[in-house]
Amino acid sequence: MSPALTRLEHQRTHRLIPALYDRGAIDDLFDDKDEAAAVFDLDNATNDRLRADAGQLAGIGPDELVTGVPYASVVNAAFTHPNPNGGRFNTSARGAWYAGFEIESALREVIWHHTQWLLEIDRLHDTATKSEYLADFAGEFHDLRDTEGYARCLDPDPAVGYVAGQDLAARLLDAGSLGLVYPAVRNAGGTNIACFRPALVQNVQPGRRITLTWSGGESPEIGA
């Protein structure tokens, strides 16, 4: 049995990625910003497609990757460069586009993960800069809101939630699912989306840059 489907139309969702991977990171190497953007997009699109054609991306084919749209490389990277441990609703074989309906939902998620990493290395002193990307979504998504049948998928502990979530996502992906809408695990009352299909990430636009500074505690200072 699968979660219920919901017809979703939502604009300006919020995704945060390390600024190191942002297209703007190479702008300073070029006098012409349009030229910099073109080189960045061409290089990333070519690399991803070559890897897919060579069978190096077992979870996604070259026909699924997007081209000819603004920030195509940013969209494709979410699917072709997954975390080695996977995420809540994806394995290491194929990524997904995760975003929050609210900036707070996206922010709390990245803060939690970065804080866990700092705790593991016993160093709660760090500065991390995140780049925001806005995107729109329209389509029928499986919905985990207002249901108790998938509580394990939303467990805050990755050892529980990720195992259950990845199993569910694998079954849905095989059945042709577009993705999942679900309650934000780190931001009570918020909503997140995990989109399984690159072509559904629409109208991508850069947002703000956010700097997070840890100074010995688990709650960082948040600055622009």
Task: Report if residue 29 sits inside a domain.
Answer: no
Task: Report if residue 150 sits inside a domain.
Answer: yes
pLDDT value at position 147?
A: 87
How many independent structural domains does the chain possess?
Answer: 1
Cα 199 to Cα 68: distance, rounded to the nearest angstrom: 11
Cα 220 to Cα 149: distance, rounded to the nearest angstrom: 34
Can you give the pTM of this predicted structure? 0.87
pLDDT value at position 54?
A: 55
Task: Report if residue 56 sits inside a domain.
Answer: no
* pLDDT (tens digit per residue) in 79-98: 998 999 999 999 999 999 99
> Which residues constitute the domain of residue 11?
5-19+86-223
Q: How confident is the model at residue 110 (pLDDT cuts 50, 70, 90)?
A: very high
Statement: residue 130 has pLDDT above 80: yes
Task: Report if residue 203 sits inside a domain.
Answer: yes
Task: Report if residue 53 sits inside a domain.
Answer: no
Task: Report if residue 129 sits inside a domain.
Answer: yes
* pLDDT (tens digit per residue) in 165-215: 999 999 999 999 999 999 999 999 999 999 999 999 999 999 999 999 999
Task: Report if residue 175 sits inside a domain.
Answer: yes
Task: Report if residue 149 sits inside a domain.
Answer: yes
- Could you tell me how far CA 202 lies from the centroid of its own chain? 14
- Percent of residues, the chain, with pLDDT higher than 70: 83
Statement: residue 25 has pLDDT above 70: no
pLDDT value at position 39?
A: 53
